[in-house]
């Protein structure tokens, strides 16, 4: 299982790098459409949609994402921030409350709107951050990848105290702390590389960047736990079977759906400041 998991992760990493740095804009938009559409298809499965309804949902969510990207493009930054602000509100307040109360809703409309709020800002953030800089988007993605990987190994080796046993029994506080420490090291290395290439991220600005990267770790954990809770309510182990050793696509991007829109909000907001 571990070899299969590692091989799948390697293929995904290569594909992500190729798309991020070598795809032209049209191909990147098609990539985002496919990614969001597949995520919407799996979310529809968790929501117990089937047949034409599931197909329609899987097509409608990425279509809304690309339409929103085009519609927001000519607007002022204050309006461009709106979908990311909604995502920040969801992941900072609504999702933790949902998990804390262990809300077990299976109401189709609520689940449809929740999936939209999860996936559309995620797709928009991939488009917006890559438009600023592929390296910037890689930096954000790297935070979640490093945190996930470190948490997995730290949890297996040191895990004793369960983080949320009734939601995701495999996650531990030791794993979460391991992920945070690894991201702190990742952030220091990243900031050091920026310093040596003459980046303006020095002094207070560099400290803000360091803190921002650390804050993405709890955001990614909430995203991970939220998808785990949805799977528990749907009585399934994985969101799908697309990725050998990993399950479905949502099982791989659950942390990203929370962390990347939060990062996009912070980055776009800071860039808009005088």
Phi, psi of 164 (to 5 degrees): -150, 75
Q: Give CA–CA dist 195/172, Å, rounded.
A: 35
User: Is residue 162 helix, strand or coil?
Assistant: strand
User: With 70 as the cut, is the pLDDT of residue 205 above it?
Assistant: no
Query: What is the average per-residue pLDDT within 234-241?
Result: 87
Query: What is the average per-residue pLDDT within 38-43?
Result: 96
Please give the mean pLDDT across all residues of the chain.
89
Confidence of residue 10 (pLDDT cuts 50, 70, 90): confident
Query: What is the average per-residue pLDDT within 58-84?
Result: 92
- Contact between 190 and 216 under an 8 Å Cβ cutoff? The reply is no
Location of structure tokens 């999860």:
118
In 3D, which of 97, 95, 26, 108 has the Cα closest to residue 66? Answer: 26
Predicted model pTM: 0.92
Confidence of residue 79 (pLDDT cuts 50, 70, 90): confident
Query: What is the average per-residue pLDDT within 153-158?
Result: 90
Q: What is the number of domains present in the chain?
A: 1
Residue length of the chain: 274
Q: Which domain holds residue 61?
A: 2-272
């Amino acid at each position: 299982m571990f070899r299969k998991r590692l091989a799948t992760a390697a293929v995904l990493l290569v594909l992500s790098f190729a798309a991020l740095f070598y795809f032209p804009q049209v191909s990147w938009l098609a990539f985002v459409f496919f990614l969001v559409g597949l995520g919407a298809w799996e979310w529809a499965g968790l929501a117990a949609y089937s047949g034409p309804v599931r197909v329609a949902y899987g097509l409608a969510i990425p279509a809304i994402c690309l339409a929103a990207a085009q519609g927001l493009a000519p607007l002022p930054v204050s309006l461009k921030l709106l979908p990311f602000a909604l995502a920040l509100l969801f992941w900072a307040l609504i999702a933790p409350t949902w998990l804390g109360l262990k809300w077990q809703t299976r109401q189709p409309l609520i689940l449809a709107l929740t999936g939209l709020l999860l996936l559309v800002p995620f797709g928009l953030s991939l488009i917006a951050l890559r438009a600023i800089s592929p390296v910037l988007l890689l930096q954000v993605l790297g935070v979640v990848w490093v945190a996930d990987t470190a948490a997995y190994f730290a949890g297996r080796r040191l895990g004793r105290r369960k983080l949320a046993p009734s939601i995701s029994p495999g996650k531990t506080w030791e794993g979460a702390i391991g992920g945070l420490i690894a991201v702190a090291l990742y952030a220091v290395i990243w900031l050091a590389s920026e310093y040596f290439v003459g980046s303006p991220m020095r002094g207070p600005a560099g400290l803000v960047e360091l803190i921002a990267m650390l804050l993405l770790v709890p955001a990614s954990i909430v995203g991970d736990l939220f998808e785990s809770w949805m799977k528990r309510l749907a009585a399934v182990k994985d969101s799908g079977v697309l990725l050998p050793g990993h399950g479905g696509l949502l099982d791989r991007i659950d942390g990203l759906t929370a962390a990347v829109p939060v990062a996009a909000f912070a980055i776009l907001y800071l860039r808009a400041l005088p």
